[in-house]
């Protein structure tokens, strides 16, 4: 639990720095209030979360099959290659991507909630 809270704090701090840097350097967001900063922090976190989510092979709606592979292998080649290590590595990578994706999504909820509370207080 401590690691997850630490992850949320660090990811929010990094997104805060990224948003302020991009706005200061390039005037990318046109930030005028604290709720704008919180909104764009959530946007950055959720964008990275979405990219990580769609990198996982299991999140795709189409199952990977031989016809979809860029390199088509016949049965003789497949019989000579052991795919167990590659499948294990893919499983580990996909699990890590899903974990980071869900963590960043949850981390983005905090600034979005803050943004909504600030908007409700000001209106």
Placement of tokens 């990198």 in the chain: 55
pLDDT in tens, 12-28: 999 999 999 999 999 98
Q: What is the pLDDT of residue 21?
A: 96
pLDDT in tens, 51-97: 988 887 655 544 444 444 545 666 776 777 777 877 888 788 888 88
pTM of the model: 0.77
Q: Which two tokens stand for residue 120?
A: 């409700």
118: nearest Cα among 28, 23, 42, 19: 42
Placement of tokens 């899903």 in the chain: 98
pLDDT reading at 110 higher than 50: yes
């Amino acid at each position: 639990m401590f690691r997850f809270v630490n992850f949320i704090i660090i990811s929010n701090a990094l997104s805060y720095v990224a948003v302020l840097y991009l706005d200061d350097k390039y005037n990318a967001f046109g930030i005028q209030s604290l709720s704008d900063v919180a909104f764009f922090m959530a946007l950055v976190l959720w964008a990275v979360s979405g990219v990580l989510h769609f990198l996982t092979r299991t999140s795709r709606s189409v199952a990977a099959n031989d016809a979809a592979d860029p390199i088509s292998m016949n049965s003789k080649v497949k019989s000579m290659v052991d795919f167990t290590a590659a499948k294990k590595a893919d499983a580990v990578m996909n699990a890590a991507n899903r974990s980071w994706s869900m963590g960043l999504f949850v981390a983005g909820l905090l600034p979005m909630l803050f943004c909504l509370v600030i908007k409700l207080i000001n209106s």
